[in-house]
Amino acid sequence: MAVSRAFAGAKLETLLLSNAAAAASSSSSAQIGISCKPARAGRRAPARRGGCAIRCEVAASDVLVGVNSASSSSLSAIEQLKTSAADRYTKERSSIVVIGLSIHTTPVEMREKLAIPEAEWPRAIGELCGLNHIEEAAVLSTCNRMEIYVVALSQHRGVKEVTEWMSKTSGIPVSELCQHRFLLYNKDATQHIFEVSAGLDSLVLGEGQILAQVKQVVKVGQGVVGFGRNISGLFKHAITVGKRVRTETNIAAGAVSVSSAAVELALMKLPRTSHPTARMLVVGAGKMGKLVIKHLVAKGCTKVVVVNRSEERVAAIREDLKDIEIVYKPLKEMLTCAAEADVVFTSTASDTLLFLKENVMDLPPVGLDVGGLRLFIDISVPRNVGSCVSDLETARVYNVDDLKEVVAANKEDRIRKALEAQTIIAEESKQFEAWRDSLETVPTIKKLRAYAERIRLAELDKCLSKMGDDISKKTKRAVDDLSRGIVNKLLHGPMQHLRCDGSDSRTLSETLENMHALNRMFSLETEISVLEQKIRAKVEQNQK
């Protein structure tokens, strides 16, 4: 019970903080980044990168010298990296940020406006990366959530730009988005996508569709400029986590899905005596439609009418599910079929409503044996059935948010399963962070190369001017090659010591120590930051 209360508290905290975040970001021009993810079991308190804390971004001039100071020399390189994060990351490293609106914070009425169909993900990534402070992006748009993952050159500005972009694409005012959105940074963003992929953040805990959807993000993102190294690394790692949690814990054991919860809800609403005889109609024969039929079979249903645009998919379902009579009807016969059904499940990708109040009010009423109400169970996002249908005395509509009623039943089971998965998630988060930390040396590599190249060019210039104008092209090239050769040979050693894949924390620590040493030796910290260069380049590009 104590655990249960802690969870409830965490959810409440999420809501409170997300409202605070909304208020802060909409009313203040101060650069405040707010992470509003609840503190969970095993999660450390604020003050670290991406902690559940409110913090102000510091201006580059305010940056402390923590990394190189003598006082911090007793800390390990990894500790230095982490303790100095607040300053260094605003100056040196981009942040992973998730700007999300999920079933836990946002009603379906809003989520459906934000939904982006799969075919448009590449375009959305392109638009997001066109924003001044966004380097990489991914879109996770499902019936439970609309989450934008970005690598932002500035957290505050990145969040602002993405929120404005979401407002523009959905037509929802920024102030309203801010009331519902949650923001997570770096470690918390990583942990979140790992939990999402494991099915821990789903309405129906442990459901498997979300892992397929995360895989789809990677598949669609392949080759899309902007689905870059960090974001694709994050999503690929999330797939590993999702698979591990499913195979190494009990999370999937007896797990329900949105479609099974939909069937469950329909049965809860129907009188028990009518279960064997209620007339079932399924509109949409995609993945969800098929799963609905499968669960109807599991509940003893022997006949179903399936309405779909094309017959092929229905024929394929018939091939797979032999224990039920499946009658196919084309979309134009949908209303006639609804007239002869007691329960109508809708699960299509249509972006317009298929059932309006005026269509449903003309349908003949259903019998009292099924409760006198025609049930519409709509699991589509955007929705397929107008909410006004529920105004009629003869019908009731339930959408994906109403499935909460079904899943609330096994809350204790949910918490137990979630705890099992957290160990794996914590382990994998550490690994991903180590991989990201290993990328930390990239700016030093670039700056060291640039520094050496500047010296080479200056010395080459001096040498060539001493040699006079009458030297041959061949000689010039030989001198140029000589200078390059010397620089490359000299840099080879340091470069080797700046590379590591992050899989071994001892090597990573050494690599980061080497990085700090090189930064000190060559005063690379005073070089213009890579991040700053990137921002300048993007702003200039967008001004053209």
Ligand X SMILES: NC(=O)c1ccc[n+]([C@@H]2O[C@H](COP(=O)([O-])OP(=O)(O)OC[C@H]3O[C@@H](n4cnc5c(N)ncnc54)[C@H](OP(=O)(O)O)[C@@H]3O)[C@@H](O)[C@H]2O)c1
Which residues does 497 contact at the CB level (< 8 Å), separation at least 6? Answer: 510, 511, 514
Nearer to ligand X, 43 or 246 (CB): 246
Quick one: 90 or 380, whose CB is closer to ligand X? 380
Q: What gap in Å lies between CA 268 and CA 155, rounded to an integer?
A: 46
CB 424, min distance to ligand X, A: 22
At how many degrees (to 10) do helices 530-543 and 441-467 cross?
80
When binding is defined by CB under 6 A, the residue of 63, 99, 288, 296 that contacts ligand X is 288
Closer Cβ to ligand X, 110 or 381, answer by number: 381
Stretch that binds ligand X, among 274-282, 317-325, 373-381, 496-504 (CB under 6 A): 373-381
Q: Which is nearer to ligand X, 259 or 429 (CB)?
A: 259
Residue from the set 44, 168, 229, 287 that interacts with ligand X by CB under 6 A: 287
Q: How far, in Å, CA of 59 to CA of 57, rounded? A: 7
Write out the E strands in 1-87: 32-34, 54-56
Tokens of 428: 């994998």
Is residue 452 within the footprint of ligand X (CB under 6 A)?
no
Bridge pairing between strands 374-378 and 343-346 = parallel
CB of 22 to ligand X, least distance (A): 26
Catalytic residue among 36, 52, 143, 500: 143
Contacting range for ligand X; rule: CB under 6 A; set: 76-84, 344-352, 439-447, 536-544: 344-352
Shortest Å, Cβ 196 to ligand X: 13
In whole angstroms, the minimum distance from the beta carbon of 217 to ligand X comes to: 13
Tabulate helix, strand, coil % of the chain (nearest 5). 60, 10, 30
Query: Which region among 27-35, 221-229, 306-314, 420-428 touches ligand X (by CB under 6 A)?
Result: 306-314
Q: Kindly indicate which of the ranges 21-29, 86-94, 341-349, 460-468 contains the residues binding ligand X, using the contact rule CB under 6 A.
A: 341-349
Is there a contact between 497 and 509 (Cβ–Cβ < 8 Å)?
no
For residues 86 and 58, give the distance between their C-alpha atoms in angstroms, rounded to a whole number. 8
Least separation in angstroms between CB 38 and ligand X: 24
Question: Structure tokens of 278?
Answer: 């209620």
Using rule CB under 6 A, residue 304 touches ligand X: no
Altogether, the residues listed in the chain come to a count of: 544
Among 143, 344, 424, 530, binds ligand X (CB under 6 A): 143
Cα angle 189, 165, 97 (rounded to 5 degrees) comes to 10
| Closest alpha carbon to 223 in 83, 126, 345 | 126
Determine if 386 is a binding residue for ligand X (CB under 6 A): no
199 makes contact with ligand X (CB under 6 A): no
Tell me, residue by residue from 398 to 417, as one string, x for binding to ligand X by CB under 6 A and - for no binding: --------------------
- Examine the residue annotation and report whether 143 is marked as an active-site residue of this protein: yes
Span of 13-21, 82-90, 309-317, 473-481 interacting with ligand X by CB under 6 A: 309-317
Backbone φ, ψ for residue 301 (5° rounding): -75, 140
CB of 334 to ligand X, least distance (A): 9
Question: What is the C-alpha separation between 93 and 531, in angstroms, rounded?
Answer: 7
Establish if 512 lies at the interface with ligand X (CB under 6 A): no
Q: Give 151 or 261: the residue with its C-beta nearer to ligand X.
A: 261
CB-count exposure of residue 436 (10 Å: 0-12, 13-18, 19+):
buried
356 contacts ligand X (rule: CB under 6 A): no
- Give the residue with the Cβ less far from ligand X, 190 or 346: 346
The correct pick among 289, 386, 443, 494 for binding ligand X (CB under 6 A) is 289
Our finding on whether 196 is near ligand X (CB under 6 A) is: no
How remote is the C-alpha of 144 from its chain's centroid? 12
> Whose Cβ is closer to ligand X: residue 131's or residue 143's?
143
Residue ranges of the alpha helices (H) in 69-173? 77-83, 85-91, 108-114, 121-129, 155-170
Q: What pairs with residue 281 in β-bridges?
A: 305, 344
Q: Give yes or no for residue 309 binding ligand X (CB under 6 A).
A: yes
Which residue, 143 or 370, is less far from ligand X as judged by CB? Answer: 143
* Residue carrying the six token digits 């698979």: 243
Q: Which of 342, 390, 343, 389 is nearest to 366 (CA)?
A: 342
Report the site for ligand X in 212-271 (rule: CB under 6 A). Answer: 258
Q: Which amino acid is at 267?
A: L
CB of 314 to ligand X, least distance (A): 8
In the complex with ligand X, which residue's Cβ is closer, 237 or 313?
313
Q: Per CB under 6 A, does 349 bind ligand X?
A: yes
For ligand X, the binding residue among 14, 190, 191, 347 (CB under 6 A) is: 347
- Residue nearer to ligand X on the CB measure, 221 or 382: 382
Cα separation, 533 vs 529, whole angstroms: 6
Tell whether residue 209 is a contact of ligand X (CB under 6 A).
yes
According to CB under 6 A, which one of 284, 386, 443, 502 is a site residue for ligand X? 284
Q: Which among 307-315, 385-393, 468-476, 525-533 is the span making contact with ligand X, rule CB under 6 A?
A: 307-315
Does 380 bind ligand X (CB under 6 A)? Our answer is: yes
* Six-digit token string for 34: 């707010």
DSSP letter string over 363-376?
Answer: SPPPPGGGTS-EEE
Asked if 308 interacts with ligand X (CB under 6 A), we say yes
Give the closest residue to 186 by CA, choosing from 20, 54, 48. Answer: 48
> Does 292 help bind ligand X (rule: CB under 6 A)?
no
Q: How would you classify the pairing of strands 145-152 and 303-308?
A: unpaired
Q: How far apart are alpha carbons 345 and 282 in whole angstroms?
A: 5
For the sheet with 134-141, list strands across it.
Answer: 134-141, 145-152, 95-102, 182-185
CA torsion through residues 428, 434, 435, 437, sign:
positive
Nearest residue (beta carbon) to ligand X: 286
Q: Please identify every residue annotated as catalytic.
A: 143
Applying CB under 6 A, the residues found at the interface with ligand X are 143, 209, 258, 284-289, 308-310, 313, 331, 347-350, 379-381
